[in-house]
Amino acid sequence: MFTAVRHYQNEAPDVVAQIQGHEARLRELMTGIEGFVAYYLVDSGDASLVTVSVFADRAGAEESTRAAAKLIGELGLGGALPNPPTVIQGEVVVHA
């Protein structure tokens, strides 16, 4: 399994609520990527949020990052998420 963690900083205060308003579309997008295992959006406070995508292979994890960036643009959330995320991705070596 592979995971992609995206940390968005300095976002608008209501961005999590804005994203939740498009939950069905986000869910459809992520589950439509081959190898989908799980997706999480975490409101980490302090004007930041974290997303975690888990996929069966590296290609799926990388595609999830591309797809998320494209969806942010399509939903007009660029102003609410003005900075690109810090992305950490890699192979899951231990899970429970």
Q: What is the pLDDT of residue 47?
A: 81
| Pairing between β-strand 36-45 and β-strand 48-55 as defined by DSSP bridges | antiparallel
16's tokens: 């999590």
pLDDT tens string 33-76: 999 999 999 998 878 899 999 999 999 999 999 999 999 999 98
86's tokens: 């810090």
Q: What is the pLDDT of residue 91?
A: 97
pLDDT tens string 1-12: 999 999 998 778
Query: pTM here?
Result: 0.90
How many Cβ atoms sit within 10 Å of the Cβ of residue 43?
13
Which CATH fold topology does 2-91 show?
Answer: Alpha-Beta Plaits (3.30.70)
CA distance 7 to 80: 14
Q: What are the residue boundaries of the structural domains of the chain, listed by start?
A: 2-91
